[in-house]
């Protein structure tokens, strides 16, 4: 009985340390990121801080040419989650914002990373990381939009990716996801050179 109670206490205390963080184009990386009022400015900063069980809420806006490298893996049933939202955390539950040929991406609808040069850089990289969730984000004008090699149990959902790789080079990719038990759901990639 004591062993069961101790196990329950340990499980509750581990879950108590999971945090929600916030990122906004009006934020500041010197703040604590724990509320919308004290949000961080860059997704890259959040990607260095977030750990297993944490959720990073990213408000709609243009985050420019960040090269986001996620530092920490999550654990099964406790991923590190990066979730975009329009006005209120959790307000995007499906790919409601649709792409039409010739229509530009709209950073007022979902957070957007724009690399500015479709022949260079990676928008989001989480190679060799496990249990990462990336949801409700637009990515454009990088060589590679999202890249993960040798990672397991990752989820990519509601991603709108457009224009990757230089016109004369076939190395561009909207999403590169390999490993085991990874899922790509409800996402769109257009104008990728590979």
Nearest by Cα to 188 from 118, 109, 122, 105: 105
pTM (predicted TM-score): 0.89
CA angle 78, 84, 88 (to 5 degrees): 105
The domain ranges of the chain are 19-192
3-class SS of residue 91: coil
Q: Is the pLDDT of residue 12 over 90?
A: no
- Residue with the bigger pLDDT between 120 and 70: it is 70
Mean pLDDT, rounded, of the chain: 90
> What is each CA distance from 51 to 75, 129, 160, in whole angstroms?
9, 11, 25
Confidence of residue 104 (pLDDT cuts 50, 70, 90): confident
pLDDT in tens, 16-48: 589 999 999 999 999 999 999 999 999 999 999
pLDDT in tens, 123-173: 999 999 999 999 999 999 999 999 999 999 999 999 999 999 876 666 788
Nearest by Cα to 99 from 24, 193, 174: 174
DSSP conformation class of 15: H
- Residue with the bigger pLDDT between 99 and 53: it is 53
Q: Are 76 and 52 contacting, i.e. CB atoms less than 8 angstroms apart? A: no
Q: Are 46 and 39 contacting, i.e. CB atoms less than 8 angstroms apart? A: no
What pLDDT does 6 receive? Answer: 47
């Amino acid at each position: 009985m004591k062993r069961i109670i101790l196990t329950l206490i340990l499980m509750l205390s581990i879950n108590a340390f999971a945090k929600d963080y916030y990122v906004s184009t009006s934020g500041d990386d010197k703040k604590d990121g724990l509320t919308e009022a004290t949000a961080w400015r860059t997704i890259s900063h959040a990607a260095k801080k977030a750990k297993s069980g944490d959720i990073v809420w990213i408000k709609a806006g243009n985050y420019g040419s960040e090269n986001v490298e996620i530092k920490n893996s999550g654990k099964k049933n406790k991923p590190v989650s990066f979730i975009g939202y329009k006005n209120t955390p959790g307000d995007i539950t499906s790919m409601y914002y649709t792409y039409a040929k010739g229509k530009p991406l709209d950073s007022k609808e979902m957070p957007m990373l724009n690399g500015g040069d479709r022949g260079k850089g990676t928008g989001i990289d989480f190679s060799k990381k496990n249990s990462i969730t990336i949801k409700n984000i637009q990515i454009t004008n990088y060589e590679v939009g999202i890249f993960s090699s040798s990672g397991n149990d990752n989820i990519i959902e509601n991603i709108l990716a457009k224009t990757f790789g230089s016109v004369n080079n076939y190395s561009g990719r909207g999403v590169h996801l390999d490993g085991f038990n990874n899922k790509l759901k409800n996402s769109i990639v257009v104008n990728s050179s590979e």
